[in-house]
Amino acid sequence: MVLTGRRVRALVVHEGALLGALAPFDVPSPWWSEVEPVTAELDRRLGARTAVLRIVTATGSGMRGGEVTYVAEALTPPTAPPEWDGAPDPGVLAPQEQRMGWAEPGGLRECWTGRPVSCKRSAAR
């Protein structure tokens, strides 16, 4: 069986606020960890630079194919009116003890600005 891609759902945050869930879209790569095509489409849809923070849910097998829901952060303010697909559960942003700091909204920016202590697990903050 040859997998040719995956379906993506993105829960978008900006400046710590959960903006919404984008309508699903397909990307050509089946690999869940390959996020470049995901961010390219998010950048286009939002008119903003984006980064994928983490996977929320996934179907498929062997970390490929199926449908994958990511939390993505708009690093710059969105300028294009996206097609929202409902309001996600805000609990998706709740801190988790085992989650790395960079996977939290604002965490990548903190890591990039030279505050490495915030890049540790959430519980160590």
Give me the mean pLDDT over the 54-68 stretch: 91
pLDDT of residue 26: 96
* Residue-range domain boundaries for the chain: 1-81, 95-125
Per-residue model confidence (pLDDT) at position 124: 41
Euclidean distance between CA atoms 20 and 1, whole angstroms: 34
Count of CB atoms situated within 10 Å of the CB of 107? 22
Strand spans (E) along the chain = 6-14, 17-21, 25-27, 50-58, 67-74
Return the ∠ at Cα 92 (arms to 89 and 96), rounded to 5°. Answer: 150
What's the pLDDT score for residue 39? Answer: 96
Q: What is the CATH number of domain 1-81?
A: 3.90.79.10
